[in-house]
A and B are shown apart, each in its own frame.
Chain A
Amino acid sequence: MTAPAVRLEADGVTVQHGARTVLAGVDLTLAPGEFVLLAGRNGAGKSTLLRVLLGSQRADGGGVRLGGRPLHDWDARARARQVAFVPQAADCPFEFTGRELVAMGRHPHRGRFEPERAADRAAIDDALAAVDAGGFADRPVTTLSGGELRRVAVARALATEAPLLLLDEPLANLDLEHALQLVRLLRRLGEAGRGVLVAAHDLNLIAPAAHRVALLHEGRIHADGTPERVLDTGNVLTVFGVVAGAPDGYFPRAFRPR
């Protein structure tokens, strides 16, 4: 990673959808070197918060800072080299190959007239290798399975070489094997110095691997800390309305990373 490590900070972010308050003052920080799970009920505003952190949606109140500077003061391409994004739906109407889709991750590094350089090709190859997509990189994405498509989308985000990564429901439609592979990859990326924020429902799969869990509830961060501390019986009951026996019940031992 060539970019200097910066932090992404949401400070009192509020978002209104018409009369409905989606986010009512969210404080959340993502720093390089940590793998954070953002969890909450359906409609809690996880995707909205991700878009605000990405900058594609403006907050109605509060603000987001990247490296201490307001996110919207950043030049678009410089920002894109710091914060990468993996969207929920990755449908593509044309027969691009996986490699061509991943190559788009180099867009913020290339001027309008610049051809693909050796550094671009190296970043693309590294990204494809990181998600183990070498085997299908040259096939049209219309022939790929859901899991393969998701890995291509993650590889595109990696190809930007951004130190911070935002992922929206990356495990949706993945079978258990591919879901676990992806979780392990995200954990590795965190350990290798990237900041990874995942909005997802799959507490059981992701929480054991995450450094931190942030629970979004009623427009605010209800709890934020280590998985063991945050996912206690009280918080799980409040946020998800589910009675959990012991927190251990949420962590299938076999899947624990250590």
Chain B
Amino acid sequence: MTHGRRLSPRLFVTVLAAATAVAAAVHLCIGLGEIDELTRQIVLQMRLPRLLVAVAGGAALGLAGAAMQATFRNPLASPDVVGTAAGAALGGALAIVARAAEVNALAVPVASLLGASFVTWLVFAFAGVGARFSATSLLLAGIAMNTLAGALTTFVVTLTVDNYTASSKVLFWLMGGLDAQNWSKAAITAVGAVVFGVPLLLRARELDVLVLNDDSAFSLGLDAATARRWLLWFACGLTATTVANTGGIAFLGLVVPHLARLLVGPAHRVLLPAAALLGAFVLVLADLACRNLPVTVNVRLGVVTSLLGAPYFLYLLRRHQRGEELQ
């Protein structure tokens, strides 16, 4: 996509904000019928917190992916590929199995943050050669950490196998979904998105400069190593506070920043808000789809995002085979 075909940021934001608002309204009101006390309670106590998690979580994952792609200088980096999300899931699963969630609502998010930060740090330490992250080394380190964290998570889940309620709870959470949201979970997701997302938005220009090499960043007055540590930690925070409440939502953090970059270009002052908005829109839409698919089984949100994300990934691969740079 050339510069001439980039959308004007204002147009993009306006159209996408309007589309998100429509999707949100449908999300709240679909199939309600007559307004009475019951439907009021459904909207206020179930659908509204669920919508808030979808909006904040989608925005958080879009931001996290965009930040990771710039800090790793690699358009394939994302919370799923690097293993950040798997680390968050491992931490969260441990906290759920240890029944810490019953003690304090913040236990799962904090455990997720620790898991996400640890795995990201490992990948960062192993995949980089002098702060250069080739697609190959990043993917290999990511596969290793995703597999390891996944295996440990499975092990943690098997610890609860004799307790059917507990294990099904963890498994359903891991599959990714926005059901069983309440206002405390919604608040945690929203506060996480703001606490970790706003500093990221304020550092948009640092993300631009980081895309150059470290010496160039240094020559422009930016200490790349320190900036990268902070920015990755914000991305971990965004991923963890989302995963803690939604479980695994595959591909969103990879695909959304990609798509946003194609539409508005790579400058982060524009890209970050665009990725956040697009992430919110996609997650609201995906949740709407998985609640209203004409099937009798409970389709998990992680399944829907995978159905959207995997073909996009294959499309990228095909473009790459045609000799185009992975963008």
The residue from A56, A97, A140 contacting B219, defined by CB atoms under 8 A apart:
A56
| CB <8 Å contact, B221 and A76 | yes
B213 adjacent to A138 (CB under 8 Å): no
Chain A binder among B33-41, B88-96, B116-124, B202-210: B202-210
From B11-19, B144-152, B261-269, B282-290, the one touching the partner chain is B261-269
Residue A142 interfacial (CB < 8 Å): yes
**CB <8 Å contact, A139 and B74:** no
Chain B residue total in the interface (Cβ 8 A): 31
State which of B3, B73, B266 has its C-beta within 8 Å of the C-beta of A138.
B3
Name B206-262 residues within 8 Å CB distance of A: 208-209, 211-216, 218-223, 261
Q: Please tell me if the beta carbons of B215 and A87 are within 8 angstroms of each other in the complex.
A: yes
A111 to chain B, nearest CB (A): 10
Near B by CB (< 8 A), chain A positions 88-115 give 89, 92-97, 100-101, 104-105, 107-108, 110, 112-113
Q: How far is the CA of A81 from the CA of B221 in the complex (A)?
A: 8
Instruction: Verify if B176 is at the interface (C-beta below 8 Å from A).
Output: no
Given A107-B205, A112-B202: A84 touches B219 (CB 8 Å cut-off) = yes
B218-A93 in contact (CB<8A) = no
- Quick one: given A107-B221, A112-B202, are A93 and B3 in contact (CB under 8 Å)? no
| Shortest distance from the beta carbon of B164 to any chain A beta carbon, whole Å | 48
Residues of A within 8 A of B211 (CB): 92-94, 96
Is A80 engaged at the interface, CB distance under 8 Å to the other chain?
Answer: yes
- A142, B325: Cβ atoms closer than 8 Å: yes
Supposing A76-B222, A76-B223 touch, asked if A94 and B261 sit within 8 A by C-beta, the answer is yes
CB of B327 closer than 8 Å to a CB of A: yes
Q: Is B192 in contact with chain A by the CB < 8 A criterion?
A: no
Task: Name the residue in A51, A97, A104, A112 with the highest tally of chain B Cβ atoms < 10 Å from its Cβ.
Answer: A104
Which secondary structure characterizes the binding site on chain B?
loop
Is A143 an interface position by the 8 A CB rule? Answer: yes
| A140 x B222 contact (CB < 8 A) | no
Interface contact B220-A96, CB-CB below 8 Å: no
- Closest CB-CB distance, A15 to chain B, in whole Å? 15
B47 to chain A, nearest CB (A): 37
Residues from chain A with a CB closer than 8 A to the CB of B209 are: 104, 107
**Interface: A188 (CB within 8 A):** no
- Chain B residues near A84 (CB-CB < 8 A): 219
Question: Cβ of B87 < 8 Å from any Cβ of A?
Answer: no
The complex places the Cα of A54 from the Cα of B219 at a distance, in Å, of 7
Cβ distance B318 to chain A, nearest Cβ, rounded Å: 18
Flag whether B297 is at the interface (Cβ < 8 A): no
Residue A85, interface by CB 8 Å: yes
Closest to A79 in B: B221
- B220 near A108 with CB under 8 A, answer yes
Asked if B2 is at the interface of the complex by the 8 Å CB criterion, the answer is yes
Contact residues in B for A110 (Cβ distance below 8 Å): 205
Q: Range of interface residues on chain A?
A: 35 or more
Known contacts A80-B220, A104-B208, A108-B220: A140-B3 contact under CB 8 Å = yes
Closest to B266 in A: A94
Measured between alpha carbons, how far is A100 from B215 in the docked complex, in Å? 18
Cα(A252)–Cα(B191), bound, Å: 67
Q: How far is the CA of A167 from the CA of B28 in the complex (A)?
A: 59
A143 to B3, CA, bound (A): 11
For A78, the chain B residues whose CB sits under 8 A away are 221
Chain A residues whose C-beta falls within 8 Å of the C-beta of B202 in the assembled complex: 112-113
Q: Tell me whether A80 and B213 are in contact (CB under 8 A).
A: no
- Listed in ascending order, the chain A residues whose CB lies under 8 Å from chain B are 51, 54-56, 76-81, 83-85, 87, 89, 92-97, 100-101, 104-105, 107-108, 110, 112-113, 138-140, 142-143, 156-157, 160, 166
Q: What are 17 pairs between A and B in contact, CB < 8 Å?
A: A54-B218, A55-B218, A56-B214, A76-B218, A76-B223, A80-B221, A85-B215, A87-B212, A87-B213, A95-B3, A96-B265, A96-B267, A104-B205, A113-B202, A139-B3, A157-B219, A160-B219
Interface contacts beyond A107-B205, A143-B2: sample of 9 additional A-B pairs, CB < 8 Å, sorted by A: A85-B219, A89-B213, A96-B208, A96-B211, A97-B265, A100-B266, A104-B212, A105-B220, A160-B219
